[in-house]
A = this chain, B = another copy of it.
Amino acid sequence: MSNISSRKLDHIELCAKEDVEYQFKTTLLEEVELLHDSLPELAVSEVDLSVDFIGKKLAAPLLITGMTGGADEATRINRELAQVAQELGIAFGVGSQRAILKDRSLAATYQVRDVAPDIALLGNIGGVQAAAMTTSEAEDLVGIIAADALCIHLNPGQELTQPEGDRDFRGVLDAIARLNEELSVPIIVKETGSGLSKRALEKLKGTGVNWVDTSGAGGTTWIGVEVLRTPPEQRNVGQMFWDWGVPTAASIIWARELGFNTIASGGVRNGLDAAKAIALGAGVAGMALPWLKAAYDGGAPAALSFGQDTLLALRTACVLTGSPNISALQQAPKILGPKLSHWARA
């Protein structure tokens, strides 16, 4: 098994079994108070959750964000979650396709089109890898899985914490601008749990990218995951940065302010969180860890059931805020708590 494959399995095991979430910092979604509407004047059956996303129509504004590939266990998870996405009409992303670059035979571990012909499907590659890649190599990653868009993920916090991680983050912005210009499908720039700050978003503005995925602080911490992979006596520095990052809710607000189409992720844990994220202006809400745990523990049936609950909660939130559709939910009356207001103004 290659290094990457074995690291991927480590990651899945750790995420599924250990506590890999922020300790003291939260998403600040708990400070988003959606206001109850006792007189919705709506029928549940009337509520329309559908949205347009990278050229596809989603039955609901939900995304299973990219997690895995490149190993056997990954194959099962990718296929099960993609199938659930197909069944529910939501979007799905694969994990970093870097492994394919080294070993083409691993392509199959990412391929899900046979079980999920209609979904909005997202490819995935790291920013540092993208910088080292020609456009046609990137095009190839997209083609291998028949993706509708390519996610470029940013994770300097994780890399620095990983002994074998990248140490040079130059050229990523240029690569994003180039791929956004030249690739046949849209680029989505995503964090991986530390969130997109105003400064990072301003830099991205210059690249022409339309879609960002906040992947903010408050959910899975990849610095934390790497800390757990480190021998205890070498954890000092990583431990200090366990809670590093921009809370998801703040990142959504900033991304919207700067005019990005926004996927809200990082610590979104259920349909009510998703509703709050959308009420802050996000177009789609993404989750990783909850889907992984469902699939890891209970396979496709558990994941499907989790997805149905999520849709039901989202629909309930629409009715109880008097929102007949997602664009109404984006405007729903809400109150932001003091910490989030402070971040939003900063």
Listed in ascending order, the chain A residues whose CB lies under 8 Å from chain B are 35-45, 127, 154-157, 160, 167-173, 191, 194-200, 203-204, 217, 236-237, 240-241, 244-246, 270-272, 309, 312-313, 316, 319-320, 322, 333, 335, 337-338, 342-343, 346
Contact = CB atoms under 8 A, between A and B. Distances in A.
A313 to B, nearest CB: 5
The oligomer's copy count stands at 4
Contacts of A156: 37-38, 40, 319-320
A261 B67 CA distance: 48
Contacts of A35: 197-199, 246
Nearest to A275: B240
Contact of A41 (B155, B172, B217, B309): B172
B319 A272 contact: no
A346 B335 CA distance: 7
A237 B335 contact: no
A35 B119 CA distance: 35
Contact of A245 (B36, B39, B160, B316): B36
A20 to B, nearest CB: 18
A312 B239 CA distance: 12
Given A41-B170, A245-B36, A272 B320 contact: no
